DNA sequence: TTGTACGCGTTATCAT
DNA sequence: ATGATAACGCGTACAA
């Protein structure tokens, strides 16, 4: 493997200085057309590539942004990242991805690493909760711009991009009410993450608006996996008065519930309606197809990227923008009685 | 936002030189315990972070690897990336992700960019075909190690990690034969990508082994989306002698076919068996669940990362390793007659 | 044990 | 229009 050519190598070859080469390559108008062309030609011949590390060191801008998510191989996060990439790549930025596995210690290390790597900003869906967020506080006060998306923390002076989880919860629940459901259960994800509380509050307020009593028996806490949903549904159906609908904060959990209900011959949507959250790809292929609240992950990624770009333009200001994207209820068979 | 502290700032604070600070921070044994502790304490107090850019520029190693895939929000690629991340992160590497959108011009630019960014290596699932691979040849000869995975190109001196697509195609087809299927169609993806040809060849050889005639009418070329699969199935079922099974190189295409078959009341697996490829998550949740060939994406990612690590250890050698992982046929209801 | 001086590759500032 | 030099932050060979 040959050493990479530098502007010095080109300079030596042409018996000029590196400064001139640099200017020629950057199309500085003060350079004569002749040398400019000569330099470009020689650069191509020597297979010269600009060393962005040196540029970054000099300019103080790495043109890299860090993206931190719990897992990358979940459709939601992968799509958010795609949105970020699509928005930032044309502006010359690279995206450095890290996954925390929902481990806050690991998340701290990752953030440290990214800052060490001189990223120009960090776009993050955090695994920290409001209880332990103080551990992050220190980092945030420092020099790297932070943008939170989806799983956010409310710090002063940091921007956030979320969807309207409250509205999503409200719309989903109200939709079930309009379908004639009287006893609507809710799958809650107990991670002390704000967005799940928002969805729960939307659910509660929809009940309230329609004067339907709130029963704590109908609220089941679970993790967002299929097995937990199965157990939750079993528990619900063994209540003295079982529910006739579920609004779930997680599609995966709901999937388990649907499989269980089908196994005991409960007819969906005739006898029982369900609505999930996230609009995971599988929801549209199942029989019956599952209604779900879409989170527009691509748009969220693009928006987070835009907020980041705006933030680094305004430089020292530390603007505090809180973008809330709409939550879109997608109605499918699982909650369509007529 | 405050400027970041450097070793010079620490040196000034302590009235020593930057060199001493550097040595102390790196726990150089020649530094007295006293100053070492003092330096560490001051560094912490001043919130010092090592600038990896400077380190990278000096050492010539960025500790970044580029990962290039067609799309990131497809389960297969997201999972491969997760495998790469999980393997490389503990070794101090960062992963820079880029997606080509299957655009070879964009792919060339991305590679250029990554090389400019001084990545220590590039792990890539390419959108180039053997026909136009010469455009990449030039890059590969240069200083950055390339590892191809899944969609590979066969260059001398570059390593590849794939699954055994031929075996996957063979096993899937033979399995259908064992189920009693006599007229097995095949969905082929016509992108001139080697792995699709390998799957087709596995299919052909399985037919050959069991003395079943090959009919070109039963080979349908399509893109890997649902709509194309639907049309393909329609076409097949209108043949004078329609098939009684499909082995599809793409789960998404197969999904469309299944939906179509169900719409015309063809019973799966009783009247018609299907097997897909990729083991997309939705295959296990559908009714009936869909048999598919698993590509072990996490393992592929880990293996690609390992090959990369081995390659940079052996430095100048340019080893040419070709790892082939097993393809695992997952049998589900869609091809289980008994 | 610590200080001095240099280089990594680039661009910007000041000369010429 | 071009050259010379400094600077970005770090590690290290050489000196002391």
| Residue B21 confidence (pLDDT) above 60 | yes
In a domain, B117, yes or no: yes
| Whether residues A181 and A144 fall in one domain | no
What pLDDT was estimated at residue B135? Answer: 81
| Cβ-based contacts of A97 with chain B (< 8 Å) | 81, 85, 95-97
- HEC states along A15-55? CCCHHHHHHHHCCCCCCCHHHHHHHHHHHHHCCCCCCHHHH
Instruction: Give the pLDDT of residue B191.
Output: 77
Mode of pairing for the β-strands spanning A94-99 and B94-99 = antiparallel
- The pLDDT, as a whole number, for residue B317 is 56
For B33-68, the pLDDT digits (tens) are 999 999 999 999 998 989 999 999 999 899 999 999
User: Residue B315: what pLDDT?
Assistant: 60
pTM score = 0.91
Residue B331 reports pLDDT greater than 70 = yes
Q: How far does A33 lie from chain B, in Å, by closest CA?
A: 26
Residue B222 near residue B153, CB atoms below 8 Å: no
Mark whether B308 and B278 lie in a shared domain: no
SS (H, E, C) chain B: CCCCCCHHHHHHHHCCCHHHHHHHHCCCCCCCHHHHHHHHHHHHHCCCCCCHHHHHHHHCCCCEEEEEECCCCCHHHHHHHHHHHHHHHHHCCEEEEEECCCCHHHHHHHHHHHHHCCCCEEEECCCCCCCCCHHHHHHHCCCCCEEEECCCCCCCCCEEEEECHHHHHHHHHHHHHHCCCCCEEEEEECCCCHHHHHHHHHHHHHHHHCCCCCCHHHEEEECCCHHHHHHHHHHHHCCCCCCCEEEECCHHHHHHHHHHHHHCCCCCCCCCEEEEEECCHHHHCCCCCCEEEECCHHHHHHHHHHHHHHHHHCHHHCCCCEEEECCEEECCHHHCCC
Query: Could you tell me if B38 and B116 lie in one domain?
Result: no
Q: Which two tokens stand for residue A1?
A: 């493997």
Do residue B156 and residue B169 come from a single domain?
A: no
A109 plus A27 within the same structural domain:
no
The gap from C-alpha A153 to its chain's centroid, in whole angstroms, comes to 13
Omega of the bond prior to B336 within 30 degrees of 0, cis? no
Domain count, chain B: 3
Q: Backbone phi, then psi, for B50, in 5-degree steps? A: -60, 135
Does residue A83 lie in a domain region? yes
Residue pLDDT, tens place only, B138-191: 777 666 899 999 999 888 878 999 999 999 999 999 999 999 999 999 999 987
- B58, part of any domain: no
Structural domain includes residue A153: yes
Claim to verify: residue A111 and residue A155 sit in the same structural domain: yes
Indicate whether A55 belongs to any domain. Answer: no
Give B216-264 pLDDT, tens digit per residue.
Answer: 999 999 988 899 999 999 999 999 999 999 999 999 999 999 999 999 9
Nearest CA to CA, how far is B62 from chain A (Å)? 8
Residue A1 domain flag: no
Asked whether residue B194 is assigned to any structural domain, the reply reads yes
Same domain? A181 vs A261:
yes
Q: Specify the pLDDT at position A316.
A: 54
CB distance B142–A118 less than 8 Å? no
- Looking at residue A313, its pLDDT comes to 83
> Using the CA of A4, which nucleotide's C1' is the nearest one?
C9
* CB within 7 A of nucleic chain D: A 15-20, 23, 28-32, 34-36, 54, 57-58, 60; B 3-4, 6-8, 18-19, 22-23, 25-26, 48-51, 54-55, 57-59
E strands within A164-312?
A: 184-189, 219-222, 245-248, 273-278, 291-294
User: Which residues are paired to B162 by β-bridges?
Assistant: B324
Q: What percent of chain B has pLDDT over 70?
A: 97
Its domain, for residue A313, covers: 63-163+297-324
Angle A75-B227-B207 from CA coordinates, rounded to 5°? 100
**Is residue A229 located within the same domain as residue A248?**
yes
Task: State whether B232 and B264 are in the same domain.
Answer: yes
What CATH number is attached to the domain comprising A27? 1.10.260.40
Tell me: pLDDT of B319 over 80: no
pLDDT score at B73: 87
Q: What is the pLDDT of residue B2?
A: 58
pLDDT of residue A318: 61
- The confidence score (pLDDT) of residue A315 equals 60
Regions of chain A where pLDDT drops below 50: 1
At residue A2, the pLDDT reads 58
What pLDDT does B159 receive?
93
Query: What's residue B198's pLDDT?
Result: 96
At A266 the pLDDT is: 97
CATH of residue B213: 3.40.50.2300
Do B174 and B320 lie in one domain? The reply is: no
- Cβ burial of B328 (10 Å; 0-12, 13-18, 19+) is middle
Please tell me whether residues B119 and B77 are part of one structural domain.
yes
Top residue of B63, B73, B81 to mutate, by most chain A CBs within 10 Å, is B73
B279 within 8 A of B301, measured Cβ to Cβ: no
Secondary structure letter of residue A324 according to DSSP: E
- Domain match, B93 and B156 both: yes
Q: Flag whether A56 is in a domain.
A: no
Task: Identify which of A302, A293, A297 has the alpha carbon closest to the alpha carbon of residue A274.
Answer: A293
Q: Give, in order, the Cα–Cα distances in Å from A175 to each of A163, A180, B115, B161.
A: 19, 9, 52, 49
């Amino acid at each position: 493997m040959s050493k990479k050519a530098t502007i010095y190598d080109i300079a030596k070859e042409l018996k000029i200085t590196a400064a001139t080469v640099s200017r020629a390559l950057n199309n500085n108008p003060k350079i004569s057309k002749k040398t400019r062309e000569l330099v470009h030609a020689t650069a191509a011949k020597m297979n010269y590539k600009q060393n962005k590390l040196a540029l970054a060191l000099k300019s103080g801008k790495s043109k890299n942004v860090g993206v931190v998510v719990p897992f990358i191989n979940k459709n939601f996060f992968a799509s958010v990242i795609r949105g970020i990439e699509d928005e930032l790549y044309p502006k010359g930025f690279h995206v450095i991805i890290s996954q925390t596995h929902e481990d806050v210690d690991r998340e701290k290390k990752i953030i440290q690493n990214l800052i060490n790597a001189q990223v120009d900003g960090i776009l993050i869906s955090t695994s920290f909760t409001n209880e332990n967020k103080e551990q992050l506080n220190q980092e945030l006060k420092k020099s790297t711009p932070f943008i939170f998306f989806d799983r956010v923390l409310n710090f002063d002076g940091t921007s956030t991009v979320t969807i309207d989880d409250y509205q999503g919860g409200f719309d989903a629940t109200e939709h079930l009410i309009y379908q004639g459901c009287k006893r609507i259960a809710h799958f809650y994800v107990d991670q002390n993450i704000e967005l799940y509380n928002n969805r729960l509050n939307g659910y509660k307020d929809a009940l309230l608006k329609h004067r339907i009593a709130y029963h704590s028996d109908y609220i089941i806490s679970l993790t967002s996996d299929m097995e937990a949903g199965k157990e939750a549904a079993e528990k619900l159906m063994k209540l003295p008065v079982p529910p006739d609908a579920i609004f779930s904060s997680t599609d995966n959990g709901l999937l388990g519930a649907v499989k269980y209900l089908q196994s005991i011959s409960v007819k969906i949507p005739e006898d029982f309606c369900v609505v999930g959250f996230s609009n995971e790809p599988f929801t549209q292929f199942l029989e019956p197809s599952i209604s779900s609240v879409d989170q527009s992950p691509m748009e969220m990624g693009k928006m987070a990227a835009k907020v980041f770009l705006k933030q680094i333009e305004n430089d020292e200001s530390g603007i505090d923008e809180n973008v809330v994207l709409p939550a879109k209820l997608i109605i499918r068979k699982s909650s369509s009685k007529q």
